Amino acid sequence: MNAAPLPPLEEIDPALSEEINSYLEEWKDKEGNLIMMLHEIQDRHGFVPREASLLLAEATGVPMARIYEVLTFYNYFKLVPPGKHNVMVCNGTACYLKGAGRLLAELESRLGISDGDTTDDRLIHLETVRCIGCCGMAPAMVVDHKTLGKLNPTDMAGLIEGIRKREESGNDQ
Amino acid sequence: MMPKTIEATINGMPVRVPAGTSILKAAREVNVRIPTLCKHEDLLPTAACGLCIVKVGGSPRMPRACATALEEGMEILTHDPELTEVRRATLELILSNHPNGCLTCGRNLNCELQTLAGDFGIRQDCMPRYVREQEPDASTGSIILEFTKCIKCGRCVQVCQEMQDVWALSFLERGINTRMAPAGDIGLADSPCIRCGQCSAHCPTGAIIEDDETVTVWEALRDPEKFCTVQIAPSVRVALGEAFGYPPGTDLTGKIYAAMRRLGFKAVFDTNFAADLTIMEEAAEFVARFAHGKGELPLITSCCPSWVDYMEKRFSDFIPNFSSAKSPQQMLGVLAKTYFAKKQGIDPAKIYQVSIMPCTAKKFELERTEEMYASGHKDVDVALTTRELARLIKQSGIDFRNLPPASADSILGTYSGAGLIFGSTGGVMEAALRTAYHKVTGRNLEKEAIDIEPVRGLKGIKSAAVDVDGTEVRVAVAHGLGNVERLLLEVRRARDAGEPPPYHFIEVMACPGGCIGGGGQPYGVSDELRSQRIQGLFDGDRGMELRFSHENPEIRTLYDDFLGEPLGEKAHRLLHVRYKARPTYQK
Amino acid sequence: MINRQVKEEFERMLGNVGEEPAGSWVRVGMDTGGIAAGADRLFTQLREECAEAGLLDTAVLRAGSFGYAWIDPLVEVRTDGKPSVLYGVVDESVATRIVNEHLSGGRMVDGHVIAPRRRGSSLDQPVTAILVQDTSCEGGDKSLFLQSSIEDELKAHGLAEEIQVVRALDMGIYQEGLVVQLLPSCVTYTNVLSRDIARIVEESVSRKAVLDDLLWTRKDFQDRIVLRHCGNLDPESLDAALRAGVYQGLADSLAKHGAEGVIEEMKASGLRGRGGAGFPTGVKWQLTRKSEAERKFVICNADEGDPGAFMDRSILEGDPHSVLEGLILAGYAVGASKGFFYIRAEYPLAVARVGKAIASARKLGLLGKNILGSGWDFDAEIRLGAGAFVCGEETALIASIEGKRGSPEPRPPYPSVKGLWGMPTCINNVETLAAVPWIIVNGGEAYASRGMEKSRGTKVFAVTGKVRNPQLVEVPMGTTVYDIVYNVCGGVQDDIPIKGVQTGGPSGGIIPEKFLETPVTYENLQALGSIMGSGGMLIMDENDCMVDVAAFYLKFCVDESCGKCAPCRVGGYQVLQLLIKISRGRGKPEDLEQIRRICTGMQKASLCGLGQTAPNPILSSLRYFADEYNAYIEGGTSYARKRKRALAEGKSLKEAV
C-alpha cells in the first residue's frame, strides 16, 4: 500500500470541493467524462491530489477503485506533485537513435535522480516522454514547455545551471 | 435470427450446443477439458491467462476458448503439440511471475496453478523469477491479500466490482507492474471491503485466503482454564464433506458434532437453534411493522454481516428498515455466555466460544460493534470458516469418514427445519414467513404450503406475493450484492414518490446462493455446487418433524425461563443491535 | 435525386465566405515542430516588422506544416500576383531579410528557398528567377560558383536586373549534381556542368527553349492527398478551409450520394485503415451501418503512439477540418449520431485546433441538428487520451473513453457490433479520415488508380532516424523504400551506409538494405516480417546496433503493455531481460532459442495486437541480423563493452576499437 491516509471528507478544503463541483457542472451531462475531469484536475494542480479523487468519487458515484485504476494505468496522470521545473527527454525512435539515452544518463548523474523522479528540493522533475514529434530536431527535450533540439550531453550541465540560476534570481522565464 | 443450436466439431467429435456457448464450455460436452486459470463459471471471461487457446479450422491464429463463441460448422482443435507448447510457455511465464512457496501456502494441494504445473510436468524453473516484493495485507482480520501470489487473472476484481458491486479490489498500474490492490491503494480494512470473502472463494491461487485462526483455537482447546464451546452454522454441514470426499450437499451434522467432541469442545451447540431464535425476533418485528404499523416497511433481514456493512456504507437511508435482530452466530454467542452459563453454573469468563461459519465476514462480525459484547464478554471468541474446520479435523487425526455420529448439547442445540434452511438464499425469508403466518393467523401453514417455492432457487432477485389470511405479503429475496441495488432503488423510488412500498419484507444475503456459497466454504464453487448444497438443506428440512421455529421446544423454554417475550426488554438488550451510517472510504 | 436544399444551403455558405482577399501575405508554419523551432516568435516578429516597414496590406498568417521537419521553421511568402515562395530554416535575421528584401524589395532571400516540387517541361512564361543548388555530396559546395556563373551570364545578356539567381535550401532532388530551376515554369535541369550555363541562359532564358539533355522529367515521388491542405491553409480558419474546398464532400454526400453511395465510393477507393491493421474502410463502415441499434458512434483514433511517428499530429494541426469532415462523413455513412476525437493529451496544439474546428463548424451548421438542411443530426466532441499506447487498440480505446483502464477486450464482438457503451461503433484513424473527403470529391476510382495490388491510394510516412532529411512524406502505395529514403528524403545522414529501415514501429520489423527496392504494400511488408503500421519509418545506419534497437522497441511495448494477459505482461518482460543479458555479453546460445519460444507464445497467445506484434522487431532482427546477436554471445563482456562505447560515441565498432 502506497497511499497516504486521507482526512475525513468534512476536513477537506472547501475550495477544492468547489473546484471539483465546477468540473462536475461542466461535464456531468457529457458521456465519457471521467478521464476529462481527471485531466482538468491535473491541469490545475499538476497532479491529481488524493482528496480530489475522493471528492470526485463522492460526487459522481464513480468508485475510488475505478478512479485509481484509471489514474495509475495512464502514464499522463501523476499522484504526487511534480517538481517545479519539468525536464522531459524525448525517447521517440529518432531521438533514441540520435542519443537520447546519453542525454538522460547525463541528466541522471548530474541531478542524482532517476527517470521519473524529482530532486529532493522538488525543484527539478526528470522524465522521459514518448515522441514529442520534433524528430527533425532529434535528440530533443522539453524544458518547462520549451522545446530544445539537436542537443549533446555536454549541453546538460548548462541547462541545469540555467534552471537553478533562474530560480535564484526569482525569474521564472 | 440466430439458430438456437450450433453444430460444430471439437477434435473431430460432433457437438451441439445452444448458440452463444463458448468453445471452452462446448468442449466439456465432449469431455474435453481446456486448461484455464482465469475463466470462472460465475464470471465473464477476462481472457487474461492465455492458456485456453485453441485452433479454429486451418487458421494459424489461436483464439481463446473462454471468450470465443462456438459458431456453426467450426472445426475446433483443442490439443496438439503446438498448442501444448504455447500453453506450456505461457504457464512457465506465469510461474516465473509467482513465488515458489507452495509448501507454506494457504492453497497448498488446492491450487489451480499448482495443479496445472503438476499436470504439465513442469520440473524446473525455466525463466528467472520476477516477483515484486510486497507485504501481505492482513488488515481486515478476515481475509489476507498475499499480493505476491497474484497471477492477475482478474477473478477477484470482477467478483468484487461486478458480482458484489463492492469495489474494494482493483487493478493498479499496468504491464509487469500490474497489481491487485484495495481501492485507492489503501489497506483493505479501510477500503469499502465488506469481508464477504468471495474474492478468496474465486481466487485460483493463494493470493487471497482467509485469515487462518486454527492455531488460536488449538491454544484455547489446550487451555485447561477454558470451557470451550462451539456452534456450527447451517450451511457448514452440507459443504464440509467436500473436503473429505463426500458429494456436495451431504448433510454431515452428526459427524461434525462427533468431531467437535473429539477435538475437545466441552459443549457443542448448533447455530440452527439461534436461527430459530432470530426468526422469533425477526418475525415479531415483521408482524409489528406489517400488522400494527410500528416501524418502516419493508423489513430487511440483517443476519449477513457483509450485507449489514454494505448497507451502512452504501444504503444507510435504509437503516430504519433493517431488522435489529442479531445474526444467529451472535445470538448463540450471547446465550452461551449468559443463559447456558447460568444454567450450567459456569463462569462465563471461562467460556470460550468458537463458531464454525461458511463465511469470512463472521470473523469481522465478532467485534463489529460493542453490542457484540452483550454478555459482558466477547460473545463469540473466534470464528472459523468451513475450510479452517476441515484443516482442524485433519490436523487432529480424526478419521472423519468413519466417525460415528453424535448429537449436540441440549438447550442450545435443538433446531427446526426453518433454522436449517437459513443457510440458503430465500431460507431466512421462508423461515420467517412460516412463523409470521402463525403469528398473524394463529395457525400454521398447511403442510403443502410450507415450502415457499418462489423464494427458492438461484435467480438473483426473487419475489413473491404470499397470501396471509387474505392479506397479500409482498416479499423479495436478493443474493449476490450486485443484485441488491436494483431492488433497493425500486424501494427508494416508491418511498420518495410517497407510494406504498413495492415489498413488505426483503431478504438479502451477500453471497450468491446465500451462506452455502459463502466466502469461507470449500473451493470450487459453481451454480451446480450451490444447488447441491441447497438441496442438502431443503432435503433436511423436508425430512424433519419440526419445521417451524416457534415450535422449537428449546426456544420456548428459552423464552419462558430466560428471555421473556420476543422483542421484550431482555431480548432487546441481548439480541438486538443498532446501525449507523459509515463512510465508504475510511481513508 | 438531388437534395436541392442542401446544395443551396452549402452554396450560400460558400457565398458568405467569399474569395480569398488579394494582396501579399506571409504564412508561418506553426505546427508543433515549427513552434519548437521558433515559429511562434517568428510570427510575432514578422507582424511587428511588417508594421514597422509600412506593409499594411501584408497579412501575417499561420499555417500547418508541409512536413519538411528537417528545415523548420518554414515561412511562405506571396507578393502580389506572383507564385508564393517557401523558405526554410528561418531564424530571426532571415525573417528580417524576408520583410526587407522580399516583401519590401521584391527579391528572394538567398540560401533559404525551398524549391517547388512541380517539374515543368515547357517555358511558356518568361523566366523571373533561377534557383540553384549543388545536390552532390562529394567535394565542396559549388552552389555559390553556380550562382555567380549564371549571374555573370545573365549580365552578359543584360538580364541580370530582372532575373534573380537564388541559392536554394532544398530542391527535392538529391545526388544529381548541380541543379537549376527556372521559375515560374519550374523547368528543372540537373547535372549541370559549367559549359551548360551559357546554353541555359542563351537558349532557355532568352529563347524559351527547353534543353532536353538536362531536363529533369521525373515526377516528384510525393503525391499529396491526405496532406493536400497541410501547410497551405490556416488550420484555425473555417473560412480558409471552405475556400480550399473542405466540406464539399459532405455537401455532395448529403445532397446526392446518400450514405450507401458514400460507402460504395469508399469501397471503390480500396482505402484500407491507415492506423496499422489495414482493414478495408468501406467494409468497416458497411458492417457498422448494418448493425441495428438505438445509437451508433464514430471515433477518430488520434492516439498516435508509435514512437517516432507524427503523421496524425501533423494532419490534425495542419488540416483539422478535413479530418472533421471525414468523421462527419463516416458518421453519415454508418448512421451514427455522435462522433468522438480521441486525441493524445500530449498533443495540446492538435487538441486546440480540432476543438476550434468543431466549434466553428457547429456554429456554421456543419455539425449539430439538421446539418445543411438535410434533416440529419450529428455532433462531435473531443476526449483525451492519457498516455497509453495500447489505447490505439480499438477495444482499449473504447474502454478509455468510457472512463476505464485501457485494457483490450476479446473480439468478437467487434466494435462495429458492440462498441462504445455497447453500441455499434466505427473507429477510424486520422489519416484514413483525412483521405475520405478527397475520395468523395474525386471519386473512389481516382484514389484506387494510385498504388498497387491490394494496397491502393497513398500513404503518409514519418521518416526519421539516420536520414538526411527527416520529414513527413506522402507517396503512392507501391513506392519503393529506396525511393522514399534516397529520392524523397535525400539519403542517409553523413553518408554512412544504410543498414535497414524499420517500419511499423514497435509492432513492425526491419527491412534490411538488400530489400530496399521492395515496393511498399501491406502484403510485401508482411512477407518481409514487418508491417505497414501507422507509418513510422526509422532509418538505421551501419553504426546502429540491432540488438539494442530490438531491446528499445521491446522495452517500449513492455512499458505500454496493459498487463491484462500473461503472455504479453510476463513474456515481454522476460524477453527483455534476455536481450539485456545478451547485450551485456552474458548471453548463451540457448537464450536465443528461449527468446524465439517466448516470442512465439506472445504472438499466438496474447489477447491484442500489442502483445501479438511486440515480438516482431526481435524476430525480424533475429531473422536478418542473427550475426549481431551471436557476436555478443561469442564476444562476451569485452565485446559488449566495446560495442557500447562505439554506440555512445556514434561510431562504428572498428572506429571505436
Q: Name the DSSP class of B467.
A: E
Instruction: Pick the catalytic residue from B323, B324, B327, B549.
Output: B323
Q: For the residues C434-442, what does the mean pLDDT come to?
A: 98
Interface with C, mutate which of A41, A90, A93, A151 (most C CBs under 10 A): A93
C-alpha cell at position C295 = 445509437
Contact (CB, 8 A) for C513 and C500? yes
Q: How many residues are there in chain C?
A: 657
Architecture of domain C455-656: Roll (3.10)
B182–chain A Cβ distance below 8 A for any pair? yes
Chain B contact set for C606 (CB, 8 A): 50
Residue of A nearest to C390 (CA): A74
B128 → closest Cβ in C565, C572, C577? C577
Compute the distance between CA of residue C196 and CA of residue C142 in angstroms, rounded to an integer. Answer: 15
When pLDDT is averaged across residues A54-78 and rounded to a whole number, the result is: 95
pLDDT of C488 higher than 50 = yes
| Furthest CA-CA distance within chain C | 78
The yes-or-no verdict on residue B279 having pLDDT over 70 is: yes
Q: Binning pLDDT at 50, 70 and 90, where does residue B4 land? A: confident
pLDDT for A154 beyond 90: yes
Q: Please indicate whether residue C494 or residue B111 has the higher confidence score (pLDDT).
A: B111
B228-240 tens-digit pLDDT: 999 999 999 999 9
Q: Is the pLDDT of residue C478 over 70?
A: yes
Long-range CB contacts (within 8 A, 24+) of C90-98: C90/C42, C91/C38, C92/C41, C92/C42, C92/C45, C95/C42, C95/C45, C95/C46, C95/C49, C96/C45, C96/C49, C98/C26, C98/C46
Task: Please compute the mean of the pLDDT values over residues C208-235 and round it to a whole number.
Answer: 95
Q: Is the pLDDT of residue A3 over 70?
A: no
Containing C382, the helix (H) or strand (E) segment is strand C379-384
Domains C22-112 and C118-219 share a fold: yes
pLDDT at residue C346 above 60?
yes
* CATH of C118-219 given 3.40.1390.40, 3.40.30.10, 3.30.300.30, 3.40.228.10: 3.40.30.10
CB contact under 8 A, C601 and B97: no
CB pairs under 8 A between A and C: 136
- The beta-carbon contacts of C276-280 under 8 Å, at least 24 apart in sequence, are C276/C392, C276/C429, C276/C504, C276/C507, C276/C531, C276/C532, C276/C533, C276/C534, C276/C609, C277/C609, C278/C455, C278/C522, C278/C532
Contact between A39 and A52 under an 8 Å Cβ cutoff? The reply is no
**Amino acid C22: pLDDT:** 81
Q: Rounded mean pLDDT of chain A?
A: 89
Q: What is the CA A51 to chain-centroid distance, rounded?
A: 18
pLDDT band at B275 (very low <50, low <70, confident <90, very high): very high
CB < 8 Å to B183, chain A: 63-65, 68
Interface-testing mutation among C65, C310, C391, C644, with chain A (most A C-beta atoms within 10 A) = C310
pLDDT, residue C495, reads: 83
Q: Which of B225, B370, B446, B545 is catalytic?
A: B370
User: Would you say residue A5 has pLDDT above 60?
Assistant: no
Identify the CATH assignment for B5-79 out of 3.40.50.920, 2.30.30.180, 3.40.50.300, 3.10.20.740.
3.10.20.740
| Cβ separation B86–C565 shorter than 8 A | no
CB contact (8 A) between residue B184 and residue A65: yes
Report whether pLDDT(C297) > 90: yes
pLDDT for position A146? 84
Q: Considering the domain B215-575, what is its CATH architecture?
A: 3-Layer(aba) Sandwich (3.40)
CB count, 10 Å around CB of C107? 13
Q: Tell me what the mean pLDDT of segment B2-9 comes to.
A: 84
Q: Which of A93-102, B400-409, B529-538, B558-567 has the lowest mean pLDDT?
A: A93-102
Joined grid coordinates for residue C559:
512499458
Residue A173 pLDDT grade (very low, low, confident, very high; cuts 50, 70, 90): very low
Cα distance between residue C174 and residue C467, in whole Å: 13
What residues of chain C lie within 8 A of the CB of A140, using their CB? 36
Q: Which of C309, C403, C544 sits opposite A70 (nearest CB)?
A: C403
Domain B94-210 has CATH 3.90.1280.10: no
Strands of A16-96 (E only): list them: 85-90
| Domain residue ranges in chain C | 22-112, 118-219, 238-448, 455-656
Spatial distance between the Cα atoms of B40 and C369, rounded to a whole number of angstroms: 47
Please identify which residue in the block is written with the cell numbers 464482438.
C413
What average pLDDT does chain B have? 96
**DSSP run (H or E) holding B465:** strand B461-468
**Contact flag A68-B170 (C-beta cutoff 8 Å):** yes
CATH number listed for the domain at residues C238-448 = 3.40.50.11540
Neighbouring chains of C at 3+ CB pairs within 8 Å?
A: A, B
- Annotated catalytic residue, options B112, B210, B242, B282: B282
Amino acid, single-letter form, for residue A72: T
Amino acid letter, residue B136: P
The single residue listed with the C-alpha cell 443463559 is B339
- Segment B38-54, tens digit of pLDDT: 999 999 999 999 999 99
Q: Scanning every residue of chain C, which has its alpha carbon at the shortest distance from the alpha carbon of B154? A: C564
Using a CB-CB cut-off of 8 Å, the residues of chain C touching A73 are: 388, 405-407, 562
Closest residue on chain B to A65 (Cα) = B183
* pLDDT at position C100: 95
Instruction: For residues B360-368, give the mean pLDDT.
Output: 97
- pTM of the entire predicted model: 0.94
Contact C518, C500 (CB under 8 A): no
pLDDT at C138: 67
Q: Which tens digits make up the pLDDT trace of C368-420?
A: 999 999 999 999 999 999 999 999 999 999 999 999 999 999 988 999 999 99
Q: Least CB-CB distance to B184: which of A9, A53, A73?
A: A53
What is the complex's ipTM, to 2 decimals? 0.94
Per-residue pLDDT reduced to its tens digit, B562-584: 999 999 999 999 999 999 999 98
Sheet bearing B382-385, strands edge to edge: B267-270, B227-232, B351-357, B382-385
What gap in Å lies between CA B577 and CA B572, rounded to an integer?
A: 8
B172/chain A closest Cα distance in angstroms: 5
Contacting residues of A for C306, CB less than 8 Å apart: 131
B303 classed as catalytic:
yes
Cβ of A147 within 8 Å of Cβ of C36? The answer is: yes
A130 at C interface, C-beta within 8 A = yes
Say if A61 is an interface residue toward chain C (CB within 8 Å).
Answer: no
Integer-rounded Cα radius of gyration of chain B: 25
pLDDT higher than threshold 50 for residue A1: no
Cα distance between residue C255 and residue C6, in whole Å: 5
Whether the pLDDT of residue A172 is over 70: the answer is no
Residue of A nearest to B175 (CA): A73
Q: What are the tens digits of pLDDT across the range C643-652?
A: 988 888 778 8
Q: What is the pLDDT of residues B306-347, one digit of tens each?
A: 999 999 999 999 999 999 999 999 999 999 999 999 999 999
Residue B469: pLDDT band (50, 70, 90) is confident
pLDDT value, residue B56: 96
Q: Would you call A136 and C69 a contact, using CB atoms and an 8 Å cutoff? A: yes
CATH architecture of C22-112: 3-Layer(aba) Sandwich (3.40)
Kindly report the number of other CB atoms within 10 A of residue C56's CB atom: 9
SS3 annotation, B138-197: CCCCCEEECHHHCCCCCHHHHHHHHHCCCCCEEEECCHHHCEEEEHHHCCHHHCCCCCCC
